[in-house]
Amino acid sequence: MKWRAIVVATALAGVAFGSVLAADGGTHDARIALMKKIGGATGALGAIAKGEKPYDAEIVKASLTTIAETAKAFPDQFNPDSDKTDAEVNPKIWDNLDDFKAKAAKLSTDAETALAQLPADQAGVGATLKTLGGNCGACHQAYRIKKD
């Protein structure tokens, strides 16, 4: 029960904090914080999908909400006035901004769809995570700078 309360509270706080970061104008720290929010939410879903944590509808809802809202806000971190000197950001993002935004929108839309048709068990969470992970992977494949 304690784990559930922590995850739900963190997700809800993260949604509010994400709104503040989205207004930050595209700094390195804001971008990293938003990606970590998505990572934390997918981690919570992954723990359920793997059977490491029991299925909990509230955690699933909070995680999907975090992913949907954060993915919507993330492209705002790459506006024309944002920091383009960040060595961890692939310049291809600005060259292909419409594609980048479309990939983020797909992640958000798929998370919202999953939220509307909430997975009812571990297998459902796993299937949802596979879809969302595919969205993440497509964007990372195209735009993430590979570290040595």
**31 known member of a binding site:** no
CB contact at 8 A, 45 and 63: yes
Who contacts 70 (Cβ-Cβ below 8 Å, separation ≥6)?
Answer: 14, 15, 18, 34, 37, 38, 41
* Tokens of residue 36, six digits: 């970590």
Rounded CA separation 68/45 (Å): 14
**136 known member of a binding site:** yes
**139 known member of a binding site:** yes
Amino acid of residue 99: D
Q: Per the annotation, where are the binding residues?
A: 136, 139-140
Q: Per the annotation, where are the binding residues for heme c?
A: 136, 139-140
